[in-house]
């Protein structure tokens, strides 16, 4: 089983949530069971990382296994070896592969030729482990996900895509507000709308942040300029100027909790006052990456 999209979690997500809750409770008590003793996770990083690398590496350590950090510049992959040959070789050595890449197609190609589970640690299209952790965090706070309103303000990027699909699967009402031209991929939106017919979730794509957050239980934002988009920075800063999550925007949803997948560009998509304020649950989100990914690793490799 591979986790390339949030959709791949469809049949196991509730099991992952229950397992993550148990693993988190045990970790808080200083109790760590070696559920993956003798197992090895290969971690391929094309992009820089703080949370993804540390959370997966710590997860494997706490589960009694081993995580192996691999950079393309240190691998033959960086010197022209094919993705297929890399997948076939690693599959003979390790028990699973986590990859953080630019192109989603490369991760799909890796999974096609791997005989061990492949986990998408972020691509230009999706960030499923982040979204799974986010929904776990919302569930912790609200006790349920059904009927919860999640408002996403900012760029219709990979995180937005996974949140869209996850909301549609889990019965979360999702409203996205982006500047014109920066909406999520139409194909992802259509998938979400189709899935929402079964779960009862409402999916809306708007351009007005104030309208989007009205009555929201959670307000979510992300950076305006993702890795690989640096040449668009000036244009994006102008386009997103009215999409900052600040105290003025929070007046439209005074009970809402604020989320950010990090790293945050403080003073741009979110203000210090908000990210460090009482409404922020950003650090709970960050911690839950560890517990949810442990649950995913146990499910795939245990």
| Cα dihedral across residues 184, 291, 68, 82: positive or negative | negative
Catalytic residue among 39, 100, 161, 291: 100
| pLDDT 10s digits, 27-48 | 999 999 999 999 999 999 998 8
The yes-or-no answer on residue 176 being catalytic is: no
- What pLDDT does residue 60 have? 98
Tell whether 183 is covered by a domain: yes
The yes-or-no answer on residue 130 being catalytic is: yes
- What pLDDT does residue 47 have? 85
Catalytic residue among 134, 155, 217, 222: 222
Are 104 and 170 within one domain?
Answer: no
- What pLDDT does residue 185 have? 97
Are 46 and 177 within one domain?
Answer: no
Structure tokens at 168: 């549609």
Instruction: Calculate mean pLDDT across residues 179-198.
Output: 97
The yes-or-no answer on residue 214 being catalytic is: no
Tell whether 269 is covered by a domain: yes
Domain CATH code at residue 123: 3.40.50.1370
Catalytic residue among 127, 161, 236, 291: 127
Any idea which of 6-15, 219-228, 252-261 has the lowest mean pLDDT? 219-228
Are 190 and 244 within one domain?
Answer: yes
Confidence of residue 216 (pLDDT cuts 50, 70, 90): very high
Q: Pseudo-torsion of CA 2, 191, 196, 299, nearest 10°?
A: 0
Catalytic residue among 130, 191, 285, 293: 130
Tell whether 225 is covered by a domain: yes
- What is the spatial distance between Cα 108 and Cα 103, in angstroms, rounded to a whole number? 9
Tell whether 222 is covered by a domain: yes
- Checking if the pLDDT of 78 tops 90, the result is no
| pLDDT 10s digits, 106-135 | 999 999 999 999 999 999 999 999 999 999
- What pLDDT does residue 228 have? 67
Provide the residue range defining the domain that includes 64.
Answer: 6-127+288-301
| HSE-CB for 29 with a 13 A CA cutoff | 9
Question: Which one is predicted more confidently, 74 or 112?
Answer: 112
- What is the spatial distance between Cα 137 and Cα 131, in angstroms, rounded to a whole number? 10
- Checking if the pLDDT of 136 tops 80, the result is yes
Q: For the chain, what is the domain count?
A: 2
The yes-or-no answer on residue 129 being catalytic is: no
Tell whether 77 is covered by a domain: yes
- What pLDDT does residue 77 have? 74
- What is the spatial distance between Cα 75 and Cα 62, in angstroms, rounded to a whole number? 27
Tell whether 213 is covered by a domain: yes
Contact 129, 119 (CB under 8 A): yes
Are 145 and 94 within one domain?
Answer: no
Tell whether 1 is covered by a domain: no
- What pLDDT does residue 55 have? 98
- Checking if the pLDDT of 225 tops 90, the result is no
- What pLDDT does residue 87 have? 96
- Checking if the pLDDT of 227 tops 80, the result is no
Tell whether 60 is covered by a domain: yes
Share of the chain above pLDDT 90, in %: 90
Are 109 and 203 within one domain?
Answer: no
Q: What is the DSSP letter of 14?
A: H
Question: Which one is predicted more confidently, 49 or 93?
Answer: 93
Are 212 and 251 within one domain?
Answer: yes
- What is the spatial distance between Cα 8 and Cα 38, in angstroms, rounded to a whole number? 26
The yes-or-no answer on residue 2 being catalytic is: no
- What pLDDT does residue 80 have? 79
Helix axis angle for 282-301 and 128-142, nearest 10°, is: 120
**Cis peptide before 187, with omega less than 30 degrees from 0?**
no
- For 227-230, the CB contacts below 8 A with 24+ separation are 227/47, 227/48, 227/102, 228/47, 228/102, 228/124
- What pLDDT does residue 233 have? 77
Catalytic residue among 129, 160, 176, 261: 261
Catalytic residue among 39, 51, 161, 289: 289
The yes-or-no answer on residue 180 being catalytic is: no
Are 93 and 215 within one domain?
Answer: no
Are 114 and 153 within one domain?
Answer: no
Pairing mode, strands 173-177 and 149-153: parallel
Are 162 and 264 within one domain?
Answer: yes
Are 35 and 146 within one domain?
Answer: no
């Amino acid at each position: 089983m591979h986790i390339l999209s949030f959709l791949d979690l469809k049949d196991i997500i509730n099991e992952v949530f229950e397992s993550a809750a148990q693993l988190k409770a045990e970790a808080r008590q200083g109790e760590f069971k070696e559920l993956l003793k003798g197992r090895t996770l290969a971690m391929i990083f094309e992009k820089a990382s703080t949370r993804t690398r540390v959370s997966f590496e710590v997860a494997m350590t706490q589960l009694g296994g081993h995580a192996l950090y691999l950079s393309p510049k240190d691998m033959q992959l960086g010197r022209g070896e094919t993705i297929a040959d890399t997948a076939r070789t690693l599959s003979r050595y390790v028990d699973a592969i986590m990859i953080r890449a630019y192109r989603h197609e490369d991760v799909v190609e890796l999974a096609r030729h791997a005989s061990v589970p492949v986990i998408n640690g972020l691509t230009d299209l999706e960030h499923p482990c982040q979204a799974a952790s986010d929904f776990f965090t919302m569930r912790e706070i609200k006790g349920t996900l059904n009927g919860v309103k999640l408002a996403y303000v900012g760029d219709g990027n990979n995180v937005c895509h996974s949140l869209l699909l996850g909301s549609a699967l889990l019965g979360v009402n999702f409203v996205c507000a982006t500047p014109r031209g920066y909406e999520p991929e139409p194909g992802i939106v259509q998938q979400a709308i189709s899935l929402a017919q079964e779960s009862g979730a409402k999916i809306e794509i708007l351009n007005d942040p104030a309208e989007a957050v009205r009555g929201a239980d959670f307000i979510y934002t992300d950076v305006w300029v993702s890795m690989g988009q640096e040449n668009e920075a000036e244009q994006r800063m102008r386009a997103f100027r009215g999409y900052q999550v600040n105290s003025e925007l929070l007046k439209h949803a005074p009970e809402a909790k604020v989320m950010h997948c990090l790293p945050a560009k403080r003073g741009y998509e979110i203000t210090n006052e908000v990210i460090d304020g009482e409404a922020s649950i950003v650090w709970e989100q960050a911690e839950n990456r560890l517990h949810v990914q442990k649950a995913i690793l146990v499910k795939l490799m245990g």
